[in-house]
Amino acid sequence: MPTPTRTTWSQIVNDFWDLWNFPNCIGAIDGKHVKVQAPPNSGSKFFNYKHSFSVVVLVDANYKFTVVDIGLYGRNSDGGIFAH
């Protein structure tokens, strides 16, 4: 994925205002669980509260990936991911 530029961030700010009426917003945290097959020897790290295995992804105002970190497990909450 390309690194976001100043132009990219400006477009995201405009999208949040135009679509959702949120001024001066460059991102929103709302993790989406994507079901996966449990990796070998992972134990319960990817097991989530929905009783499935998943990874968490974060999206922008248009539900598109802007920045991706696949390093966190499905059992983590949105707040825990943000803190990390």
Q: What pLDDT is stored for residue 46 in this prediction?
A: 74
Residue 37: inside a domain = yes
| In-domain check, residue 15 | no
What is the DSSP secondary-structure string of 20-40? H--TT-------EEEE-PPPT
Domain that holds residue 50: 27-83
Helical ranges in the chain per DSSP H = 6-20, 78-83
With respect to residue 41, please indicate whether it lies within any of the assigned structural domains: yes
Instruction: Look at the chain and report how many structural domains it folds into.
Output: 1
Helix (H, G, I), strand (E, B) or coil at 8: helix
In a domain, 49, yes or no: yes
Task: Confirm whether 16 is domain-assigned.
Answer: no
Within-domain flag for 64: yes
**Local mean pLDDT, 10-residue blocks, the chain (84 residues):** 86 93 81 74 78 74 73 62 64
Question: Phi/psi class of residue 75: alpha, beta or left (left: φ > 0; alpha: ψ in -120 to 50)?
Answer: alpha
